[in-house]
Amino acid sequence: MSPFGDTPRLSPLDDFAILSANGDTMRIQTPADLGLTIRDRRKRMGLAQQSLADRVGVSRQWIVEVEAGKSRAEIGLILRTLRELGIQLDATSELKPGSSKRSQPSVPDLDRIVDRFRGKRS
């Protein structure tokens, strides 16, 4: 699911990374993650919910709901809110180019390792 509503992601393996003005990165996987990021940045900037709402052009209640993890917030308003807070949204993927599946880390074959230590060769 998308962090912005009930529409599916391009891939269930994709995440969104938030890059703040000071270079901190936070992986956003749920609407609640996004809401916490917005609330944290707003507070760090010393903005009241109403002040941010005025800057974005939304109601204070909309800010309250987004900060609480509202899953159906309009993407355009979310992007405007992030821009007002000096936060950049980057979509990243762990997929290799041309691959439809995430590359899996190499998993050691424990049986083979144990056999090697016991003197058996595969």
Q: Report the alpha-carbon distance of residue 50 to residue 55 in Å, rounded.
A: 9
pLDDT tens profile 70-94: 888 899 999 999 999 999 888 777 6
Interhelix angle 60-67/31-44, nearest 10 degrees: 120
Structure tokens at 116: 């090697």
**How does the average pLDDT of the chain come out, rounded?**
76
Model confidence at 6: pLDDT above 60: no
What pLDDT is stored for residue 85 in this prediction?
Answer: 94
Residue 23 or 1, more confident: 23
> What pLDDT does residue 22 have?
56
Q: Is the pTM of this model over 0.75?
A: no
Domains of the chain with CATH codes = 1-95 (1.10.260.40)
